[in-house]
Homo-oligomer: A and B are copies of this chain.
Amino acid sequence: MSMKISQLSDETGVARATLKYYLREGLLHAGASRGRTQADYDASHVARVRLVRALIEAGGLSLASVKEVVQALESPPDRRHDLLGAAQCALTGSTRAEPVSCPRARALMNDLSWRIDPGSPLLTDLEHQLDAADAAGVAVPDERLRTYATSMHEVAQVDVESVPDDPQGAVRQVVVATVLIDPILITLRRLGQQDVSAQRFGLD
């Protein structure tokens, strides 16, 4: 299972120049060097390239985010719960350290008795998103928000259940599943809307 860069390119459908770029950017680990002008790539490189492409194309991640993800993949934390945080940190571009209060987000968490780190950037994310909806003239009533939260909690339940025990596979599962399933959920939401709407307002 050993190949040169051209074969890697053929195998994955990614241009050689792009592969070299990924090597330079640290998205792809170097191959085993055979002399000065040759390196061997193997199945792990094929898998990595496919992962990177999936994260970019299906997950809509930037190269910088992909880099964080693959770095998280390479240094798995030992505590099970930390994994999630690492994966999530790698994903959100939450570089803002504003000590905002997030009244609505906190109220919701409290209301639902969710165990959330009070300093989690997810809370400020949520608050910003609610503010944006308000600014756009579409308020989300608390009750509706709670309903959404309940449904997403079911999703999260499945997410966490499906993490394998094997720590190696766990990181991969958590990180990749989180990113790649997001768009799947969104698409399912749209399809669900179609169904409910068809049911309610007739097909014609």
Mark A residues whose CB is within 8 Å of B.
47, 50-51, 53-55, 57-59, 79-81, 84-85, 88, 92, 109, 114-117, 120, 122-123, 125-126, 128-130, 132-133, 135-138, 140, 144-145, 147-160, 162, 172-173, 176-178, 180-204
Q: When A172-B137, A190-B88 are in contact, do A160 and B54 touch as well, CB less than 8 Å?
A: no
The residue from B148, B153, B180, B195 contacting A196, defined by CB atoms under 8 A apart: B153
Residue of B nearest to A188 (CB): B152
**How many copies of this protein are present in the complex?**
2
Is the pair B156, A51 in contact by a Cβ cutoff of 8 Å? no
> Is the beta-carbon distance between A180 and B138 smaller than 8 angstroms?
yes
Bound: A176/B120 CA distance, A: 27
Pairwise interchain contact B151-A154, C-beta atoms closer than 8 A: yes
For A136, what are the chain B residues with a Cβ–Cβ distance below 8 Å?
Answer: 50-51, 54-55, 58, 176, 180
- Contact B114–A195 (Cβ < 8 Å): yes
Decide if A133 touches B58 in the complex (CB within 8 Å): yes
Can you add 4 more A-B contacts, CB < 8 Å, to A53-B135, A151-B158, A155-B189? A114-B192, A115-B199, A151-B154, A185-B185
Contacts of A81 in B (CB 8 A): 197-198, 201-204
Ranked nearest first, the 3 interchain pairs of A and B with the lowest CB-CB distance are: A156-B192, A58-B132, A54-B136
